[in-house]
């Protein structure tokens, strides 16, 4: 089936829906999601959205910008970080005006709380910057933005999975191809502008906080079409995942006073981050946990430590962290009011992704040359505001600020640009891919390949990395990709074929894994979420630059682009 | 330990009517029922079909009937569910395939109650003020994840296609009692029609079914009182 729109937005999480809200009434838009929009993973975000409103105590956007740059270990593009911190304030008010039910101060303003790495006066002490709706801030953002979509009668194409990105020979984006999961039918969406807002790819790792559907679809498809992926080696491992399940326990737990303790009951963050303690940035806390475990100081000598909330008043836990208390009760059978909670780091967030400028335009080279008509925002994009390590709350800020900017820019773009013709047989590649899976009588199982992929990525491209392990990983990934060419399905039907969906997703995961592994092997330094035991120091002389990974006929090629530095010269990162 | 799952299967391409199929998986007691379903799908029978995403009870994809009760498969552990499970799709909606039902009527009901903030006044430069007490009035109904567990547990919705169902009323409540909203009376008019709140017989199935612990029946009662006494 053929559709024509001004703008097609792929992904209905915070970034996609925020962009849609800007375009509503100004353009004919479609929002395409492989889920129902309210299932998007923005809804799982818990703790808050950072903005220097200063409702509780003095705060300034430039402090937020500084924290973002420092938190990202100085490989943040500072022009973008400035936009993020400045516009966060208006974007949060815009969400409130749309109806978002923030928690309130006694005088009726938006309440704010502490979060890791957010400080006053350039690192002096924690500041209350995170605006929140209990511990389901992401849920409320997602619901509020979906409500706006309903209000503005946006065309939602639910349970339609993107399979291809349409680019003309002269490098203009003219649409996408998708598959209606319900019927298996192929849909061509022809548009003046496309926004990729497809989210992250945490499912590339064994232990993750990410939803099963987070398989890097937009990144992988663009990568296959020859577009670069930026800084894929920077992946965030959140310190506090529920032991073994990886389900996130928000940093808000520590923002409200929760403490990490090792097997001996010691508050071990005193050793690693004497000022910010448990609220140090996530990469540092995750490594600290790992080092405690390695030193035999995990609980009972095992690979986890404890998150201690038992000193907090019951009301704080029930009123400010109700969902988290529910997760602990449901999945661990423990009561955080009385019991220590076993936690381990969990793969959480991709700092890297499709390179974009501050208006969400996808760029293709060291000079930030944009592709006309192609935009990206949210976790699948790399602006880069998170650098080597994202601060807590800044994912939601990123979605809202850059989803908004991409939406506004597209509204202008479609005014001044005509619809380009589609390439010939636009659905050809997508149809061929589907046919190859459905008709292949291969013996390899996508589930088995995916499980092995997750194991090797966790082992070799996880919190600690070495050149030797990454070279081994490279070989293992090549083997998995080879096996994947012989994948066979059990379900060959057209109707709601989730076997097919999961197989396609496994292919996407294999592609993003390749970019992560190659970027990590090339980057011979340690910075933020990327820690090389064989190169344990940050190396600004050689590595203060962004990775651009390209897939070419001769294998992956790495290029590098400079970091934008405006206000803050790189310094050693201490907390 | 061995867990036996008896799952109601239906493939529209090959089946004329649904039938049960039996599976046995080795599952840890602390695993989720969703994990058991994944084990079947990934290692025994790739044709088994169900929706899932977040796997921890916040996205609302995997509501289904487990041993006769509406549950999220990712929020029920094997140790609570037992070793003999009967799993069926939600009641009252057309089955598309296996445990996947047609959600369109559910979202149509949701859309019918104007589930968005309506306030035509010029917005202030900063936030609209709202006291913590005013916010508390609709706190409970903001938790809804639109999983349809409540609506498909309601005996009225099984027999009456017109009834908007508990989830739509919950989402109307969320705005009716929001001090920033100006369209409470419009929503209450919608819910005062024969498809609205008066169909509710206060069975409490919805409240029992809600995986988010929303006091659904209480919310419906509050909307009823709002309509009767203009209290919102």
- Quick check: A305 and A550 in contact, CB under 8 A? no
Cβ distance A99 to B178 less than 8 Å, yes or no, reads: yes
Closest Cβ–Cβ partner in A44, A110, A491 for B47: A491
Q: Taking CB atoms and an 8 Å cutoff, what residues of chain B touch A487?
A: none
Cβ distance B46 to A489 less than 8 Å, yes or no, reads: yes
**Nearest-angstrom CA–CA distance, A137 and A110:** 12
In angstroms, the separation between the Cα of residue A322 and the nearest Cα of chain B is 11
| Predicted pLDDT at B110 | 98
| Predicted pLDDT at A472 | 98
Q: Taking CB atoms and an 8 Å cutoff, what residues of chain A touch B30?
A: 331, 333
Q: Taking CB atoms and an 8 Å cutoff, what residues of chain B touch A102?
A: 127
pLDDT of B232 over the 80 cut: no
Tokens of A101: 């039910």
Q: Which of A48, A17, A37, A39 is nearest to A323 (CA)?
A: A48
Rounded to 5 degrees, φ, ψ at A488 are -125, 140
Rounded to 5 degrees, φ, ψ at A549 are -100, 130
Provide the 8-state DSSP code for A65. Answer: H
Q: Which of B11, B93, B116, B172 to mutate to test the interface with A (most CBs of A within 10 A)?
A: B116
**Buried-exposed string A422-457: b where 16+ CB fall within 10 A, e elsewhere:** beeebbebbbebbeebbebebebbbbebbebbbebb
Chain B, window 149-188: residues with a beta carbon less than 8 angstroms from a chain A beta carbon? 175, 178, 180-181
Average pLDDT over residues B190-210: 96
| Predicted pLDDT at B56 | 95
Average pLDDT over residues B200-212: 97
Residue in chain B closest to A42 (alpha carbons) equals B59
| Predicted pLDDT at B230 | 83
Q: Is the peptide bond before A384 cis (omega within 30 degrees of 0)?
A: yes
Rounded to 5 degrees, φ, ψ at A329 are -65, -45
CA atoms within 13 A on the CB side of B202: 5
Closest Cβ–Cβ partner in A102, A151, A491 for B46: A491
**Nearest-angstrom CA–CA distance, B157 and A167:** 47
Cβ distance A99 to B12 less than 8 Å, yes or no, reads: no
| Predicted pLDDT at A298 | 96
Provide the 8-state DSSP code for A331. Answer: I
Q: Known catalytic residue: A567?
A: no
| Predicted pLDDT at A574 | 83
Low-confidence ranges of chain A (pLDDT < 70): none
**Nearest-angstrom CA–CA distance, A6 and A560:** 34
Which residue in this structure is represented by tokens 């849920």? A139
Q: Which of A120, A282, A404, A523 is catalytic?
A: A282
Is residue A308 classed as helix, strand or coil in its secondary structure? strand
Tokens of B99: 């445990």
- Quick check: A548 and A355 in contact, CB under 8 A? yes
Tell me the pTM.
Answer: 0.97
Q: Taking CB atoms and an 8 Å cutoff, what residues of chain A touch B112?
A: none
**Nearest-angstrom CA–CA distance, A121 and A339:** 36
Tell me: the pLDDT tens digits for B1-57?
A: 999 999 999 999 999 999 999 999 999 999 999 999 999 999 999 999 999 999 999
| Predicted pLDDT at B77 | 96
Q: Is A53 on the interface with B (CB under 8 A)?
A: yes
3-state helix, strand, coil in chain A (%, to 5): 40, 25, 40
The Cα-based distances of A103 to A514, A572, B132, B177 in angstroms read: 42, 36, 7, 15
- Quick check: B179 and B139 in contact, CB under 8 A? no
- Quick check: B176 and B107 in contact, CB under 8 A? no
Residue A62 CB burial class (10 angstroms; 0-12, 13-18, ≥19): middle
| Predicted pLDDT at A441 | 84
Q: A4: which strand partners?
A: A190
Q: A550: which strand partners?
A: A557
Count residue pairs from A and B with Cβ separation < 8 A: 153
Is residue B13 classed as helix, strand or coil in its secondary structure? coil
Q: Is A389 on the interface with B (CB under 8 A)?
A: no
| Predicted pLDDT at A575 | 82
Residues 6+ away with beta carbon under 8 Å from B145: A38, A43, A139, B58, B59, B60, B211, B212
Q: Taking CB atoms and an 8 Å cutoff, what residues of chain A touch B73?
A: none
- Quick check: B79 and B219 in contact, CB under 8 A? no
Provide the 8-state DSSP code for A332. Answer: I
Tell me: the pLDDT tens digits for B77-131?
A: 999 999 999 999 999 999 999 999 999 999 999 999 999 999 999 999 999 999 9
| Predicted pLDDT at A444 | 96
Chain B, window 115-134: residues with a beta carbon less than 8 angstroms from a chain A beta carbon? 115-117, 123, 125-132
Cβ distance B54 to A136 less than 8 Å, yes or no, reads: no
Q: Is B4 on the interface with A (CB under 8 A)?
A: no
């Amino acid at each position: 089936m053929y559709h024509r729109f001004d703008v097609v937005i792929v992904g209905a999480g915070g970034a996609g829906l925020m962009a849609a809200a800007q375009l509503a009434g100004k353009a004919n838009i479609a929002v395409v999601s492989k889920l129902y929009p309210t299932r998007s993973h923005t809804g799982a975000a818990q703790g808050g959205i950072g903005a220097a409103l200063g409702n509780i105590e003095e705060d300034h956007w430039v402090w937020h910008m500084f924290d973002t740059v420092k938190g990202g270990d100085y490989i943040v593009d500072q022009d973008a970080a400035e936009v993020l911190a400045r516009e966060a304030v208006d974007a949060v008010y815009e969400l409130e005006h749309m109806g978002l039910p923030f928690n309130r101060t006694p005088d009726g303003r938006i309440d704010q709380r502490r979060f890791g790495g957010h400080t006053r006066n350039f690192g002096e002490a924690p500041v209350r910057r995170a605006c929140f709706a209990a511990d389901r801030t992401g849920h409320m953002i997602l619901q509020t933005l979906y409500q706006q979509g309903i209000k503005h009668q946006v065309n939602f194409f639910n349970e339609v999975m993107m399979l291809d990105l349409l680019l003309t020979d002269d490098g203009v984006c003219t649409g996408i191809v998708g598959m209606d999961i319900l019927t298996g039918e192929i849909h061509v969406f022809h548009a003046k502008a496309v926004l990729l807002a497809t989210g992250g790819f945490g499912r590339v790792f064994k232990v993750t906080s990410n939803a099963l559907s987070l398989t890097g679809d937009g990144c992988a498809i663009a990568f296959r079409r020859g577009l670069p992926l930026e800084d894929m080696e920077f992946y965030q491992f959140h310190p506090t995942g529920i032991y073994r399940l990886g389900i996130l326990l928000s940093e808000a737990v520590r923002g409200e006073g929760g403490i990490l303790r090792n097997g001996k009951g010691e508050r071990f963050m005193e050793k690693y981050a004497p000022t910010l303690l448990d609220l140090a940035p996530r990469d540092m806390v995750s490594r600290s946990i790992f080092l405690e475990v390695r030193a035999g100081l995990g609980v009972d000598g095992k690979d986890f430590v404890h998150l201690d909330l038992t000193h907090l008043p019951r009301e704080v836990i029930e009123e400010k962290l109700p969902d988290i208390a529910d997760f602990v009760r449901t999945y661990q059978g423990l009561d955080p009011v009385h019991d220590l909670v076993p936690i381990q780091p969990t793969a959480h967030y991709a700092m890297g992704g499709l390179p974009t400028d501050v208006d969400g335009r996808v760029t293709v080279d060291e000079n930030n040359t944009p592709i006309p008509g192609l935009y990206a925002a949210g976790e699948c994009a790399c602006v880069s505001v998170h650098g080597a390590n994202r601060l807590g709350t800044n994912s939601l800020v990123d979605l809202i600020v850059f989803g908004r900017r991409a939406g506004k820019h597209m509204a202008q773009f479609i005014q001044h640009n005509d619809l380009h013709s589609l390439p010939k047989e636009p659905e050809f590649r997508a149809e061929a891919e589907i046919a190859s899976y459905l008709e292949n009588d291969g013996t390899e199982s996508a589930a088995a390949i995916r499980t092995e992929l997750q194991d090797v990525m966790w082992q070799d491209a996880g919190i600690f990395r070495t050149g030797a392990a990454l070279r081994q990983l490279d070989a293992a990934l090549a083997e998995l990709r080879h096996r994947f060419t012989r994948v066979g399905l059990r379900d060959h039907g057209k109707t709601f074929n989730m076997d097919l969906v999961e197989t396609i997703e496994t292919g996407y995961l294999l592609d993003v894994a390749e970019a992560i592994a190659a970027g990590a092997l090339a980057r011979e330094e340690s910075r933020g979420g990327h820690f090389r035991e064989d190169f344990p120091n940050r190396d600004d002389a050689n590595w203060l630059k962004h990775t651009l990974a390209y897939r070419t006929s001769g294998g992956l090629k790495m290029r590098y682009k400079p970091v934008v530095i405006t206000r803050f010269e790189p310094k050693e990162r201490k907390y | 330990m061995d867990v036996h799952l008896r799952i109601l299967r239906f493939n529209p391409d090959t089946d004329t009517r649904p039938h049960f199929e039996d599976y046995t998986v080795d599952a840890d007691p602390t695993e989720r029922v969703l994990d058991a379903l994944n084990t079947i799908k990934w290692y025994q029978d790739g044709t088994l079909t169900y929706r899932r995403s977040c796997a921890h009870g916040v996205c609302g994809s995997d509501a289904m009937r487990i041993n006769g009760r509406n549950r999220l498969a990712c929020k029920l552990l094997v140790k609570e569910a037992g070793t003999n499970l009967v799993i069926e799709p939600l009641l009252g909606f057309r089955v598309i395939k296996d445990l996947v039902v047609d959600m369109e009527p559910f979202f149509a009901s949701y859309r019918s109650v104007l589930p968005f903030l309506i306030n035509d006044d010029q917005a202030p430069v900063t936030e609209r003020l709202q006291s913590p007490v005013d916010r508390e009035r609709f706190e409970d109904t903001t938790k809804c994840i639109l999983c349809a567990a409540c609506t498909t547990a309601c005996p009225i919705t099984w027999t009456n296609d017109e009834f908007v169902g508990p989830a739509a009323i919950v989402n109307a409540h969320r705005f009716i009692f929001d001090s920033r909203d100006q369209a409470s009376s419009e929503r209450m008019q919608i819910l005062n029609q024969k498809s609205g709140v008066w169909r509710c017989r206060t069975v409490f199935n919805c409240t029992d079914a809600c995986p988010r612990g929303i006091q659904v029946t209480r919310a419906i009662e509050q909307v009823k009182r709002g309509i009767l006494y203009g209290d919102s």
